[in-house]
């Protein structure tokens, strides 16, 4: 994964919540001119990416976060949470 995994959200609180939920992934929160990105540097194994995405989905559902943009190797995807 050349550029790691990036999760874009609108609110700092959501970014911090997601970063905390992803625990030991080495994630950091970056401010991108009013939007926020949780950056996870190069998860090496496919199983790790799957675990990170599963933890992200759980975080969205548990914290009523509507959706996030996930970027993997310059390809963007939207993950939606379950409305609380």
- Interval 72-83: pLDDT, tens: 878 899 999 986
pTM of the model: 0.76
Containing structural domain, residue 14:
10-79
With respect to residue 47, please indicate whether it lies within any of the assigned structural domains. yes
In sequence order, the 6+-apart residues with CB closer than 8 A to the CB of 50 are none
Smallest CA-to-CA distance from 60 within 22, 26, 3 is with 22
**Number of structural domains in the chain:** 1
With respect to residue 84, please indicate whether it lies within any of the assigned structural domains. no
Q: pLDDT (tens digit, 9 = 90+) per residue, 20-68?
A: 888 777 888 999 888 899 988 866 566 677 888 898 999 999 999 999 9
């Amino acid at each position: 994964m050349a550029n790691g995994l990036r999760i874009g959200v609108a609110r700092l609180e959501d970014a911090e919540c997601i970063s905390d939920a992803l625990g030991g992934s080495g994630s950091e929160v970056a401010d991108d001119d009013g939007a926020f990105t949780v950056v996870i540097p190069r998860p090496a194994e496919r199983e790790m990416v799957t675990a990170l995405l599963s933890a992200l989905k759980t975080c969205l559902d548990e914290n009523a976060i509507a959706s996030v943009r996930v970027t993997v190797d310059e390809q963007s995807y939207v993950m939606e949470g379950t409305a609380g």
